[in-house]
Amino acid sequence: MNNTINLLIEAIKDQKEIFGDELFETFTIESRIEEPKNLIHEQKPIFMPSNNLFEEFAKCETIDSLYNTINECQKCALGKTRTKFVFGTGNPTADVMIIGEAPGADEDKQGIPFVGRAGKLLTDILKAINFEREEVYIANILKCRPPNNRNPLPAEMEECTPYLYKQIELIKPKVILCLGLVAASSLLNQKVSLTKLRGNVYDIQGIKTMVTYHPAALLRNPNWKRGCWEDVQKFRKLYDSLS
């Protein structure tokens, strides 16, 4: 019985991953017709809160000093429940930045993002488009694990995203790939489905940004891998066009 309930919960989570809150809205046939995919899609303004100079971390000039300044953060309740602070990993001058949602159990134990099964799949996806994991920079919207892998709360994201914006400012990537709806809607300030976000190119303070499925969702739904493959090929082309 418990197993059935867990399977149902996972299935609903997957639906929400793709459709967001639209699943619970009525929609017309017209709204299901795919809109044209644009280069630099219309988007709401995105504010980089790291220009809040009153915060100590905003003055950091290197990734290491940022880590040293924030790694004992207790701004939200996750500071009490985490094992390790999962700052981010990879090349501090990377051209490519990958942004996920939040650490899971493996990441919480090791203090490194994407080291579990989803992480292995992410490494394979990157390899498939000729990026080594070590050459990119990988971080999450949240630096600490939400208990039982629940979705990040809006207040947690509000406290934590300034750290991510500061990382982006210091790393200065040419392109960003967002994994999954939670990361994408938080970073792009959009409240639409993953279907609508995929395939477009957004602009975060001059940095071209694209969106694809979260690898954990791909592990549960291997039939979404084809769409992911199309997304990451476009992402690679975008990167090549800027190099």
Binding site residues, ligand URA, CB under 6 A:
100-104, 107, 113-114, 118-119, 140, 216
Nearer to ligand URA, 90 or 104 (CB): 104
- The alpha-helical segments, DSSP class H, found in 25-179 are 63-70, 78-81, 105-110, 117-128, 154-171
Cα–Cα distance for residue pair 42/38, rounded to 1 Å? 8
Secondary structure class of 217 (helix, strand, coil): helix
Q: Which is nearer to ligand URA, 118 or 188 (CB)?
A: 118
Least distance (Å) from ligand URA to the CB of residue 182? 8
Q: Which is nearer to ligand URA, 55 or 106 (CB)?
A: 106
Q: In what order do the strands lie in the sheet with 137-140?
A: 89-90, 137-140, 96-100, 175-179, 207-212, 202-204
For ligand URA, which is the closer residue by CB, 100 or 173? Answer: 100
Distance CA 111, CA 86 (A): 5
> Which residue, chain included where needed, has tokens 């602070």?
85
Q: CA-to-CA distance for 177 and 60, rounded, in angstroms?
A: 24
Do the Cβ atoms of 100 and 141 come closer than 8 Å? yes
Whole-angstrom distance, CA of residue 9 vs CA of residue 105: 19
The CB-of-114 to ligand URA minimum distance in angstroms stands at 4
Least distance (Å) between residue 15 CB and ligand URA:
18
Residue 68 Cβ, how far from ligand URA at the closest point, in Å? 21
Is residue 225 a contact partner of residue 240, using CB atoms and an 8 Å limit? no
Q: Which is nearer to ligand URA, 101 or 231 (CB)?
A: 101
Nearer to ligand URA, 119 or 199 (CB): 119
In the bound complex, what is the minimum distance in angstroms from residue 120's beta carbon to ligand URA?
Answer: 11
Burial of 240 (0-12, 13-18, 19+ CB in 10 A): exposed
SS3 204: strand
The nearest distance, CB 243 to ligand URA, in angstroms, is 27
Least distance (Å) between residue 34 CB and ligand URA: 26
Q: Given the complex with ligand URA, which of 13 and 55 has the nearer CB atom?
A: 13
Residues 6 or more apart whose Cβ sits within 8 Å of residue 39: 201
